[in-house]
């Protein structure tokens, strides 16, 4: 599904309460032959360089662990206490937080607790092409744009970055002539200001992750062993806890099973390797699948397309 289609569904349900809005959108997505979770994993940019939209986390609208083929910049417009898994770290989002997620980095809002209010976020998606070749003057080379980070801007001069997000979202929603040029230019300014924050600091600070709990510890364990056999029993023994303890943690925090999350993480890594040009007959073994047929079925079930189709769309030639 393209972003424009999701935005259209959201606009049609704009007058509903958050809970009814999510239910209405879920039904509309399912009528198109997919599930809400599959929709998030398959969601793609509608435009070549940049997209912008407003996202509202709704009770019951669990978002699965996923990654993107593009860069994502997210700005929190309110403090609702939501937790956010970014790579292997967990953060508690607050008003004014800016989250930067590069392609291939797994992330997920943790929506398992009852929300006091919906979590409102402005989001900008930036294509690899835009980041790699759209610059007249390149961004500072000292910044590693392949690494995720979270900036806390509330109460600092950099809080004005929220206005940049807001104006881009408004342009994208109004669709007036030249809106794409406006959003692209605005995004160049935004990335330049973020680069300035990272090189000068100037009040805004990089957020510290929450103290690691069992969830993050298990994720780090999984990350270090993606190419190896991973079982719930072995993982439980490693951490000296019961299998049910890990299972309950994953269900409560992620809304998914341990096995499902391991598979999703393997497939996210597989997508990154495919984009890098690693041959398909090498990818499956490097991410822990026993043979190509098992990998093929898991990939097709998760993303709706075969690994070779994904390679043709996003990857480099294997030649």
Q: Model confidence over 8-20: pLDDT tens digits?
A: 666 666 666 666 7
By three-state DSSP, how is residue 152 classified? strand
**Global pTM?**
0.81
Strand order in the sheet with 71-76: 50-57, 119-126, 71-76, 97-101, 149-152, 205-206
Find the largest Cα–Cα distance for the chain. Answer: 60
CATH architecture label of 3-206: Sandwich (2.60)
Q: What are the residue ranges of CATH 1.10.10.60 in the chain? A: 214-314
The count of C-alpha atoms lying within 13 angstroms of the C-alpha of 27, restricted to the half-sphere facing its C-beta, is 7
CA torsion, ordered 236, 239, 242, 244, to nearest 10 deg: -70
The strand pair at 71-76 and 119-126 is best described as antiparallel
User: CATH 2.60.120.280 spans which residues of the chain?
Assistant: 3-206
Backbone φ and ψ of 160, nearest 5°: -65, -10
Using pLDDT thresholds of 50, 70 and 90, give the confidence band for residue 108. Answer: confident
Tokens of 19: 């809970």
**Average pLDDT for the chain:** 83
CATH of 214-314, one of 3.40.50.10420, 1.10.10.60, 3.40.50.300, 2.40.50.100: 1.10.10.60
Distance (Å, whole) CA 188 – CA 184: 6
Closest CA to 93 of 150, 38, 162, 135: 150
Distance, in Å, from the CA atom of 149 to the CA atom of 201, rounded to the nearest integer, reads 13
Give me the pLDDT at residue 39, please: 59
**pLDDT for the residue 160:** 92
pLDDT band at 48 (very low <50, low <70, confident <90, very high): confident
Report helix, strand or coil for 195. helix
Per-residue pLDDT averaged across 54-66, rounded? 70
Task: Name 53's bridge partners.
Answer: 123
Higher pLDDT, 151 or 256: 151
Nearest by Cα to 295 from 104, 107, 303, 68: 303
Lowest mean pLDDT among 88-97, 135-144, 171-180, 246-255: 135-144
Residue 273 makes CB contacts below 8 A (sequence gap 6+) with 282, 283, 286, 287
């Amino acid at each position: 599904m393209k972003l424009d289609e999701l935005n259209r569904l959201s606009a049609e349900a704009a007058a509903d309460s958050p809970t009814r809005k999510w239910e209405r959108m879920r039904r509309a997505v399912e009528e198109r032959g997919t599930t809400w979770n599959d929709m998030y994993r398959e969601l793609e940019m509608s435009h070549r360089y940049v997209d912008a939209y407003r996202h509202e986390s709704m009770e019951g609208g669990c978002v699965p662990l996923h990654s993107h083929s593009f860069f994502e910049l997210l700005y929190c417009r309110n403090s609702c206490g939501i937790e956010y898994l970014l790579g292997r770290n967990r953060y508690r989002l607050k008003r004014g937080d800016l989250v930067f997620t590069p392609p291939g980095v797994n992330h997920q809002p943790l929506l398992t607790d009852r929300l006091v209010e919906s979590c409102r976020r402005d989001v900008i998606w930036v294509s690899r092409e835009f980041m790699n070749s759209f610059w007249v003057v390149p961004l500072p080379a000292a910044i590693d744009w392949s690494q995720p980070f979270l900036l806390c801007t509330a109460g600092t001069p950099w809080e004005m970055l929220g206005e940049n997000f807001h104006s881009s979202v408004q342009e994208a929603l109004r669709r007036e002539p030249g809106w794409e040029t406006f959003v692209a230019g605005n995004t160049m300014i935004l990335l330049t200001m973020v680069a300035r924050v990272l090189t000068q600091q100037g009040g805004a600070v990089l957020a510290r992750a929450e103290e690691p709990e069992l969830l993050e510890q298990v994720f780090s364990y999984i990350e270090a062993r993606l190419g190896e056999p991973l079982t719930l029993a072995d993982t439980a023994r490693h951490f000296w806890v019961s299998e049910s303890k890990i299972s309950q943690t994953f269900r409560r925090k992620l809304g998914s099973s341990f096995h499902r999350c391991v598979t999703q993480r393997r497939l996210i890594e597989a997508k990154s390797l495919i984009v890098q040009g690693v041959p398909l007959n090498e990818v499956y073994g490097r991410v822990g699948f026993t043979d190509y047929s098992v990998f093929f079925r898991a990939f097709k079930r998760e993303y709706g397309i075969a690994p070779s189709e994904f390679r043709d769309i996003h990857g480099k030639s294997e030649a």
